Amino acid sequence: MNHHPNIHPGKPVVHAHQLSLWTAERWILENISFDLFRGAFCVLLGGNGAGKSSLLRTLAGVLPSSWQVVGRCEVLSEVPCISGKMRSLGVSWLGQHQEVSEDMTVQEYLSLSGWSGLLPFDTEFSAQCRSDFAVDSLLGDRLSALSGGQWQRVRLAQALSVRANLILLDEPDAALDERWRRVLWRVLVERKHLGTTVVLALHRHLEVQSFVSNWIGLEEGRLVFSEGRPGVYPHAFVERLFLEKSLTRQYG
C-alpha cells in the first residue's frame, strides 16, 4: 500500500494484521489488515453495522471485557518527535455515546483529564479548543441544559484538549451545523500537520476529501479496501453507500 508523502516512513503508528473481534454471539470484525503512519488522516467508510465503531473501540482499547480480539492490533507506544527523541504516544478517543452526570457543569466536565484519565491536559490546546468551539460562554451551564450541538462542541473541546499522537473519533460531526464542522476539520488538519494520526468515522465524506490521506472501507465486519494513494477517492463504494441509504429511507 502506498502512503501520503507527509506520513512518516518509519514504523506504523497503527498496525492491524488479520484482526478479528468476537462477541459472545458473532464475529464483529474479520481478518482486517492495514497500517497507518504518523500524520495520517484516515476516514472509515461503511454502512450501519459495518464495524466502524467496533474498529475504533478496538484501537482505543475500550472494548467490553467479554469481547475477544484475535490477530494483531498494535498501537505504537512511542513516536519520534521533531528533536529526534522518542515521546510517549497519547490516545484521545471520542465515541458516539458517553455516560456522564447531567448535573455536572460544562466547566466540571472540561476539567476531566481525557477519556482514560491518563492524558494530562495541554494548557495551550485546552485554551485553543475552548476558543475554537466557543464553549467559554457555557461554562456555568449544566450538561442537561445543552442542545445537541452545544453538547457535541463541549465533548470535542474536552477530547481535543490533550496532546495526543493518535486521535480516534466516531462520527464527531454529529449534531454540528456547517459552521462548526468547518471548525472541526480545521482543528483536525492542524493536528495532522503536527504529526498526529487521525482516524474517524463519519458520513460527510466530501467535506474532508481534500485532506484525507487514507480511506478504509468496511462491510459486514470485513475489509473491502484500504486506500492510501494520494488523490484516490473511492467513488464507487461511496456511491453504493448513498444508494443503499436512499433505498433504506424509501422502502425500509
Q: Specify if 242 maps to a domain.
A: yes
Neighbours of 47 (CB within 10 A): 15
Residue 43 lies in a domain: yes
Which CATH number is 58's domain given?
A: 3.40.50.300
Cβ neighbourhood burial of 26 (10 Å; 0-12, 13-18, 19+): exposed
| Residue 193 forms part of a structural domain | yes
Rounded Cα gap, residues 109 and 101, in angstroms: 9
C-alpha cell at 196: 498526529
Task: Answer yes or no: is 99 within a domain.
Answer: no
The answer to whether 239 and 12 are in contact (CB under 8 A) is no
Question: Within a domain: residue 222?
Answer: yes
Q: Is 245 part of a structural domain of the chain?
A: yes
Confidence at residue 111, expressed as pLDDT on a 0 to 100 scale: 83
Domain that holds residue 170: 14-89+165-251
DSSP H or E stretch at residue 225: strand 222-227
Tens digits of residue pLDDT in 157-177: 999 988 888 999 999 999 999
Residues linked to residue 183 through DSSP beta bridges, in sequence order = none
> Is 132 among the domain residues?
no
Total count of domains within the chain: 1
155 lies in some domain: no
Per-residue pLDDT of 80-138, as tens digits, reads: 544 444 455 678 999 998 888 889 999 999 887 554 444 566 788 889 999 999 999 99
* 199 in Cβ contact with 14 (< 8 Å): yes
